[in-house]
Structure 1
Amino acid sequence: MPFNVVEDASTGSDSDYSSTWISWFLSSKGNEYFCEVDEDFILDRFNLTGLNNEVANYSQALDLITDSLDEDIQDELRGSLDVQARLLYGLIHARWIVTARGLQKMLEKYKRADFGRCPRVLCASQPLLPVGLTDIPYEKSVKLYCGRCEDLYSPKSSRHGSIDGAYFGTTFPHLLFLVYPTLLPSKDPETSMHVTGKETNTLGDSRNRRRLREEPEAVTEGGGEGISTASVAMKAERYRPRIYGFQINEIAKLQRWQEAVRDRQIARLEALEEKNP
């Protein structure tokens, strides 16, 4: 696997087991992204539908999370159960944080910028939100989503970077902004440039963009020989926000328009490269 899905279970000492398992898990280093899942949510078996197929020793792992595991269990078995309990809690966590109560708890962490801030200068230290690239465990590590530039970033800490993205899911940050629309960062260049203390020359930027559309020759000036700008542009990837697998309507419309503009520009570049091989 390209990353460690589960942190080493030896993060805490044996004395840590005197407290509840969830409080021990949340206090372990590297688990700062997680919030506490209400016990009532965990005990409602309807909320855990299907997880028994995802986690080995499901019943015992659930007993460990809810502190109802038989104390006479062998220490060796408990060590292996910790791994399964972490996986189970992570998958429950992904379901919990898209509920009304879970969103509220994650909102508090977001307001404190517990997940870090966007490294992009023009985003003016915008707080980030964790997101998964897939809802299937053991495939992709967690990423951080910026609501201003709508791009993804890797966590700075290797501990956080090793967390499975399925523990947060693909829906969470976008549902949060849908439920709390006032939190959606402004795309106004003037508000995003206040850190530099200078106003953005939006008029000049629009003129530059217009000139690039009207004069595609300027794009290739100074380019490396033998490099196809059009092929490079076509390979560029972009993140597509989704809620339960469906693209968000307004963002999807904007992205379709942006891609149409990009496709026209690529067509101009390809025609230009054919004329000047």
Structure 2
Amino acid sequence: MEDASTGSDSDYSNSWISWFLSSKGNEYFCEVEEDYILDRFNLTGLNTEVQHYSQALDLITDNLDDEIQDEFRGTLDVQARLLYGLIHARWIVTARGLAKMLEKYKKADFGRCPRVLCQSQPLLPVGLTDVPYEKSVKLYCGRCEDIYSPKSSRHGSIDGAYFGTSFPHLLFLVYPNLIPPKSGPVDFSANMRAGDVEGGRRNRRGREDQDPPADSMTEGFSTAAAALKADRYRPRIFGFQVHEIAKLQRWQEAVRDRQIARLEQLEENV
């Protein structure tokens, strides 16, 4: 499996960060540049969210004292992962961070939308909250504007706060030419590998093979009830709804409510 790093020259070769990025399950992360981490202004407030903050930062930057006891290193590694994740969420909404994540997006490193009409649109990671330990990471499709859970359990266990709630929408504001059309083929695929397209086809075939048969549904299953339980995603940038998307969201919710009411009426008549 390829390293999740974008391949930039870094003093972190064979370091904690290099090890972290090359570990299985961390392919969504990009490399945070050294000067960004060493600028304490960028880390403002994180000392209140991470236990053993100073030691965790020393571990990330490879300045940890070798005399630290082994039994403490396990706890410290957990805190270092948390700290790097929170730094990562801040880094990827900077100009340089967006550029690195753009490279991963063009290679479809985050997967592709499972909906047929989205025609294998590449996905972007997003958090449903900026508070750690609350929600796992989801994948946002700029075409259908919906979110999905990662296929891999390793990726599904990543904290959504490590990507934040603003990243995908800020990326599209900075690079408006990448906003996918609502219909027709995806247009920026000229820079994408042909193998990625074939991989998307294999993934679709795999999903089709895994779909349960209709008769396996338990008796009494309510489609309307399942639809009501589904979270409605609202794109935001730094807490504020994106204006054009907000208008579309109101229309989508009205259509969704009408469809649920129709399903409930059909189920009552059965």
Give TM-score, length-normalised by structure 2. Answer: 0.75
Residue 133 and residue 47 in structure 1: after superposition, are their counterparts in 2 closer, same or farther (change >3 A)?
Answer: same
- Mapped to 2, the partners of 1:136 and 1:171 lie a distance apart of 13
- Mapped to 2, the partners of 1:170 and 1:247 lie a distance apart of 11
State the match for 2:39 in structure 1: 44
Are positions 1:175 and 2:170 aligned together?
yes
Residue 264 and residue 145 in structure 1: after superposition, are their counterparts in 2 closer, same or farther (change >3 A)?
Answer: closer
Residue ranges of structure 1 left out of the alignment (5+ in a row)? 1-16, 196-225
- The structural deviation recorded for 1:258 is 3.4
Question: What does residue range 171-210 of structure 1 map to in structure 2 within 5 Å?
Answer: 171-188=166-183, 190-191=184-185
Are positions 1:255 and 2:241 aligned together?
no
Q: Deviations over 1:33-64 (max 9, x none)?
A: 10000111111111111100110000000001
Question: What does residue range 70-149 of structure 1 map to in structure 2 within 5 Å?
Answer: 70-149=65-144
Are positions 1:28 and 2:58 aligned together?
no
- The structural deviation recorded for 1:103 is 0.3
State the match for 2:233 in structure 1: 239
How many residues end up aligned between the 2 structures? 226
* 1:181 alignment partner AA: P
Residue 187 and residue 28 in structure 1: after superposition, are their counterparts in 2 closer, same or farther (change >3 A)?
Answer: same
Secondary structure (helix, strand or coil) at the match of 1:19 reads: coil
Q: Deviations over 1:77-98 (max 9, x none)?
A: 2222111100000000000000
Are positions 1:59 and 2:54 aligned together?
yes
- The structural deviation recorded for 1:237 is 4.0
Q: Deviations over 1:223-276 (max 9, x none)?
A: xxx999988776664211111111100010122233345556778899x89xx8
* Larger relative contact order, structure 1 or 2 (CA cutoff 8 Å, min sep 6): 1
- The structural deviation recorded for 1:136 is 0.4
Question: What does residue range 192-231 of structure 1 map to in structure 2 within 5 Å?
Answer: none
Residue ranges of structure 2 left out of the alignment (5+ in a row)? 1-11, 187-196, 198-219
Identity %: 84
Secondary structure (helix, strand or coil) at the match of 2:139 reads: strand
| Greater Cα radius of gyration, structure 1 or 2 | 1
- Mapped to 1, the partners of 2:56 and 2:222 lie a distance apart of 54
- Mapped to 1, the partners of 2:53 and 2:153 lie a distance apart of 28
- The structural deviation recorded for 1:155 is 0.8
* 1:28 alignment partner AA: S
- Mapped to 2, the partners of 1:34 and 1:108 lie a distance apart of 12
Residue 265 and residue 77 in structure 1: after superposition, are their counterparts in 2 closer, same or farther (change >3 A)?
Answer: closer
State the match for 2:208 in structure 1: none
State the match for 1:19 in structure 2: 14
Secondary structure (helix, strand or coil) at the match of 2:125 reads: strand
- Mapped to 2, the partners of 1:264 and 1:18 lie a distance apart of 55
* 2:144 alignment partner AA: C
* 1:140 alignment partner AA: K
* 1:78 alignment partner AA: R
Residue 18 and residue 77 in structure 1: after superposition, are their counterparts in 2 closer, same or farther (change >3 A)?
Answer: farther
RMSD: 2.7
* 2:112 alignment partner AA: R
State the match for 1:158 in structure 2: 153
Q: Deviations over 1:94-119 (max 9, x none)?
A: 00000000000000000111111111
* 1:35 alignment partner AA: C
Residue 78 and residue 237 in structure 1: after superposition, are their counterparts in 2 closer, same or farther (change >3 A)?
Answer: closer
